[in-house]
Structure 1
């Protein structure tokens, strides 16, 4: 499994590099519409570290964050590769999910990419994407997906996002996209608000079909679908004018996003519970939000 771990970590890093370059190009090309006279945004990149309970090295990653751009108000694209021993709470959570042997040998390794983009223009949807691989001595699996979070909804944007994801996933089986789309609808739901966080997308977790190469290929295509699904929406909506009422709607919707990530998101809970850099884990939170 050493080779497989290396291949997965390398893929997540390559996807991160492609997304960062594409988002900076969007900043450069925004020469018409609101904020086009401002300076284009750039990512600030910093290394993140994780230490084990005894103070030894336990991996880390890269945190790339752009703030105050012409198109992106705040966007983070993180990659990580962490390892060590799961704490008692994490062991119990893994055991409850059916991970074999976790009580006897709680070592783990995990690598992935995590992205959240909060946009300047309220007409441009916020978006989330992550893919990851997790390993313990008794099991391995993949997880992740991407979902669209518009505060002002456009049916044609939603249709494009879903259709692009379907096109990338259909080669893996006709049942894959419907299954992962339904899973996203269930996962990205805010029970205490009785509503979805956004308009959905695709999501999976604990993916282990027994064929590592096939599951890795599916995970890669979830990542490959992201830019074609999202970038055309940015290019179309970033030129639209907005007013204070539009911005108010956006800030209230961001409140919903913050609630979900702090209360329900599995990745947030895992990152904080296993001692990863808190700033990297909480990168997903919006720069500004409000509650009624």
Structure 2
């Protein structure tokens, strides 16, 4: 692969993540505008956009992104969606982590480029499931790959909601091979498990990392379809549940579940670890944390 062709592919990937962000922001603000969800007098929330920049060790520019955050809305107590494109040199900790996963050549040439979208939604109503999405492309001089996924994190589980979410993911992955959904679901079940609690953080979804089939177009198409699956998988659940009545007991269950979510993201999540280790904007990296949580 020539340098020019890889530069074009990087540009296409970065542009796609921005396009997906715009679709999601528009859909979420449309949900906030729904009259059925404003009976308690709370006005519709609107996203606030903040540019993030990353500095290289020599003081130069190492890229950045745009963080969109919605807080205190009718449907969303806190919602963040960020896109970024960063580059630079992997630090020793990040090099060790990637070498341990079998990524070749990072010790010999630790330069990197990465672009992606990361989203977490913490709804106000405990019946609306929290949700996460992250997809990314990563490049080093020796390798490139895609990674990420999406998973559903309800405080109050509904079997039909879980079934819908997984059915939409399967429908979008099946064109890429009948093995893809089962493979990525199994990986998500393993990845989103919280060992010190002995349980999963939610009801699963899909996940993959270090994905390189040797065919960039094929792999990019699949990562796009994972992104396209997100809104039809989650939005109908929010539309159905956001007006559902709830009480203090429901809210308590939600806050306790958020504590589990925070534990996973701070202790185990690869994206959190890499973002902090690589010098990315800490507020953007920790955007995924809930506004309120509870431990018992």
Q: Same fold (TM over 0.5)?
A: yes
Alignment match, 1:6: 11
1:1-292 counterparts in 2 under 5 A? Answer: 1-29=6-34, 31-33=35-37, 35=39, 37-292=41-296
Q: What CA RMSD, in Å, does the superposition of the two structures yield over aligned residues? A: 0.8
Distance 1:76 1:33 in 2: 20
Change (3 A) 1:148 1:240: same
Q: Indicate conservation of the 8 Å contact 2:37/2:75, yes or no.
A: no
Residues 112, 130 of structure 1: 8 Å contact kept = yes
Unmatched 5+ residue regions in structure 1?
A: none
Q: Give, in whole Å, the separation in 1 of the partners of 2:102 and 2:268.
A: 20
TM (norm. structure 2) is 0.97
Ranges in structure 2 where 5+ consecutive residues have no aligned partner: 1-5
Alpha-carbon distance in 1 for matches of 2:39, 2:220: 40
Q: Which runs of 4+ in 1 moved over 6 A?
A: none
| Alpha-carbon offset, residue 19 of structure 1 | 0.3
Measured in 2, the distance between the counterparts of 1:156 and 1:231 equals 14
* 8 Å CA contact retained: 2:37, 2:74: no
Q: Which moved more, 1:110-119 or 1:95-104?
A: 95-104
**Secondary structure in structure 2 of the residue aligned to 1:32:** helix
Q: 1:35 Cα deviation (Å)?
A: 4.5
- Compute the displacement of 1:37 (Å): 2.9
- Counterpart CA distance in 2 for 1:2 and 1:105 is 18
Q: Distance in 2 between matches of 1:242 and 1:95?
A: 48
Q: Is the 8 A contact 2:21 2:81 kept in 1?
A: yes
Instruction: State whether residues 67 and 80 of structure 2, in contact with CA within 8 Å, keep that contact through their aligned partners in structure 1.
Output: yes
Give the Cα separation in 2 of the matches to 1:161 and 1:105. Answer: 41
- Cα distance in 1 for partners of 2:120, 2:220 equals 22
SS at match of 1:55: coil
Mapped contact 1:34–1:241 kept (Cα < 8 A): no
Q: How many residues align?
A: 291
Structure 1 residue 98: Cα displacement: 1.7
Shift of 1:36: 5.2
Native 8 Å contact 1:63 1:76 kept in 2: yes
**Alpha-carbon distance between aligned partners in 2 of 1:5 and 1:27, rounded to the nearest angstrom:** 33
Task: Check conservation: 2:125, 2:246, Cα contact below 8 A.
Answer: yes
Q: Deviations over 1:77-102 (max 9, x none)?
A: 00000000011111111122222221
TM-score (norm 1): 0.98
Contact map agreement 2:38 2:44 (CA 8 A) in 1: no
